[in-house]
Structure 1
Amino acid sequence: MSNKNTEYGVELRNVTKRFGDLTAVDDIDLAVRDGEFLVLLGPSGCGKTTTLRMIAGLEVPTDGTIEMHGSDVTEKLPQKRDLSMVFQNYALYPHKTVEDNLRFPLGKMDITEEEATEKVEYATELLGIEDLLDKKPGQLSGGQRQRVALGRTIVREPNLFLMDEPLSNLDAKLRVNTRSELKDLQQQLGTTTVYVTHDQEEAMSIADRIVIMDDGQIQQIGTPQEVYKNPANEFVASFLGEPGMNFVQTAASSNGSVHAQITEPVDLEVSVEGDVPHSKVGVRPQDVWVGPGNSPGAPRDNGYVEISKMRLETIDPLGHSYELRLERGDHSIIALSDDVPGQVGDEVDVAFNRSSIHVFGENTEALSVKP
């Protein structure tokens, strides 16, 4: 009997890809749900693009299998996989008009001229590029070329969209607008989509689920909220968020508690599951409270716990808030604050939001924090 599960559009099982002595992807398992928008996120060289290329059939796994809707496609050619790919450079034919670029992939399909025209009209109306049909790629803006590349993908009506950093060539404002349109488009079409990016803000804004990769391995899979609020390990915690998470090495550990100490006599005690010989306490900058040195203290009734008095080293205005760098001895902490608690060089009060504290063990894995 077959154990094929067609709930998933794509399944990777024990997939490894080696290039000589380099292991680009290391024994990963990944299931992409039918109709979902899945984002592969990670730093350069983490294996995300190689993973996408193996799904596309542009690379063959060294080990492992790839299935699409329950059928093994590990060795199948790209054109046999019913997918379409949008590249970073759009890959448009410069000598062809927009209409000819859109029609080109339809030439290999067994459809009539009338059906091809209907598909092109549908895609151009959906993307709002009806007035560009007679132009050539060199006459278009980056955003327009990106829409044409998407249109060429849509006309094929594949079961799977693959996108490799398709917005990276756009300017910042257009990138923000286009990613919102892209998410709306994917929801409207309902096509399973695997999307590669190194931009965490982009990933958080468009993904149904995010696959965070590093060093060829999957570090965590979850919704944007899950991976941000409950990072599985220190890498995920530090990679997500801008500015990144603050980490404080614990000074002691006993009886299921860890102690993070910045200065005597202040000692933050956090209860965790099990005995922890070595660990770090982490807290995001927006969960750090900073008040003037003569303040009555941290707002304990709102769940904050006082940590220390620290020196205000830098104040960087961000428009909507201020990024503050605080130091005390060998410890440095970044805080995001709506207000400026003093001047550079002042001593200020610092507190952590207890409900937002994370603890990471000696193998960098996240530990369960007790209330």
Structure 2
Amino acid sequence: MFWALILEPHKEYSQIVERSFHVSMATLDLASLSDKLVQVFVRYKEKCYLLCNLIEDKKCQVPLDINFEEGTYVTFLTYGRGFVHLTGYILPYDEICSDNSEEEEVENEIEKKKEKWLITNNQNSLKRKTKSQEDGKKVKISKQESFDKSNDQDANSKENYGSLEEEDNDVDMEDMEQEKNENDNDNDEDEDEDEDEDEEEEEEKEQEHEKKEIENQQQQKQKKNHDKQYKTNGKEIKQEQQSKKQNKKTEQQMQQKNLNQAKKRIIEGGVQVEDIKIGDGALATLGKNVTVYYVARCKMGKEEKKFDSCIQGKGYKFRVGKGEVIRGWEIGIIGMKVGGKRRLTIPPNLGYGAKEVSPVPANSTLTFDIELKKVN
């Protein structure tokens, strides 16, 4: 979307940026110019920064590449008497919002998975700790029962010492049974430990899987951001190239326009001067003797026709300011240099006037193509 602002002299333009925008160009309005130099400033955070210098006939248009974000307080102002046009474009808002919402959704999903993984990990750790404490209590109780049982057997053996041989078989049977029970308990504990190890392995696998899934999502997010950045950079490069091309074309047009204005102008008495070629020799001034080649034309009927010329030989010689030629010649030739070519368009009052000079009709506007050959 197009953005523009016209800066008037001695005025400040302050605003809080509602939509982010980009400033691409600063152009000096030559029609309103009173000073040769106009400076463009921006005030940001109580400091003034110079954006560009615009100079008449040298640098009247300058490309810029500045972004102003939403919510920023800025002030534009100029120094110098001349209007300045700032142009650019509004930065796209919908695309940025949609991309941000998608990124927020991905980030929320990743955070939820991280929280779930941490909760599951803490629960499993607490479960293993509780189970380990219960197993420790069981082992302690089993040892205490074995110790009490051993003491009872010792007491019984002392009381029945006399009948020891009769009870040997019973004692052996009890020992065998106790040993069997202990082996069974050991087997149960081994099975419980195997089950715990299997559960831990499954939990570790599940945690590893969740971790990999989170990493994959993060990688996808990074790739998406990279693609987005690449796309944005490509767009900016293309826009910058187009802007440079347009700026170059505009600058060339301005230079050509200024060149044409410099070559073609109206001077004293309404004489129109158009420099076809600028010379590099001696300068024609009042009182100098000059030698020229010329071709003279005027309108005869509906067509412009040649009525006089001198384009070879020694040329036509006269003294500037002594009335030896029509007044329009004397005005128009001043300022020429040897080797230069100039076209003079002379109104009737500075030519032959209301009288008819055959074959030139009365009140004719005369055109002379003059080449300055010598100045003495």
Q: What is the TM-score of this pair, normalised by structure 1?
A: 0.24
Structure having the larger proportion of residues in helix: 2
Q: What is the TM-score of this pair, normalised by structure 2?
A: 0.24
Structure having the larger proportion of residues in strand: 1
Relative CO higher for 1 or 2, CA cutoff 8 Å, sep ≥ 6?
A: 1
